[in-house]
Structure 1
């Protein structure tokens, strides 16, 4: 049975389809422009404010990019840092969120208070740089990963998600002889795929788009990421 079988309902659906289609086209136009501009000449990009099809097809931009190994090396570096950083951040965040989800954990409130404090008040650029320098991480890829290894906001969200899971699942697993690691790996993580996938995306995009960290910590241009 159709939900909207009246004339007014069909008109409403048609207007919705047209409106959403226009919004989709508008959101895609910047990507189309960038893609078209990559095949245009520099003079055309300077002369024309916007276009979706170049007047003169040119591969000069791609020839320039791949004329040296800098772009390929930076792309590989960025992909590796993003993958390692995302996996590391997820592991550290989950392994810290799981025990904090236990209400009987000693010192839990103090640790949560410190997490909230770190979320509201950050150390700042200069203290973070001095810390990275004292740890010997300058010109190291770990300088792009470790300083942001655990995001306080993400930690709190994942911790709250663990708390909302039924306690009976954990009790049943303990009765079957499961350890804390087994409960986390075999029960909680499979049930947490949506929240883990969401924050994995956040972490990956944040690391991929990071420009300030390579600018501050990497002076060796052979280790620069794609953004640099």
Structure 2
């Protein structure tokens, strides 16, 4: 069960379609793990529908109305196919919002070794904005102490890690910025795979790794 969630205003913007692409993807991945946030999103959608019903109506073109009603009539069939496809997906460890980008599971991706205990893989899923990246950390692996020049969004997909702010497990949603300095350490019993979107490069603060900063900008 997820312990760390998007703020309510973020969920509200997600339901309203007001987040940018990478933020939307991060929230969608979290929601695929988190029943509480799925419920909140449904309630917000219902509230939005009630508010729309209270707005004054406009005349709708008859052809547009017929087309819309036909789409609604076909919706259960489309939903049935989607559920069937989800049930038969060969790599259930990959959350549904990422299955198009990761059709053959995590092990089939082209991972790049960044540190002895860390591999990374950039996903080609963002039309613009920051890179969306997978981080794969060996059990017990430690990421050097760093802070963030911009906002960093993280959703845990597998395993867990900890830092000075808490312990995190699959499904947890984290948002970090320049106010946060941390040293993530993966759990000892399982590899950790995280999905991240970083709006600006990290800044290493550990003296041992500061030499990396020019290469991260």
The answer to whether TM tops 0.5 is: no
Query: Which has more radius of gyration?
Result: 1
Select the structure with the greater relative contact order (CA < 8 A; seq sep ≥ 6). 1
Higher normalized helix content (fraction of residues) = 1
Q: TM-score, normalised by structure 1?
A: 0.23
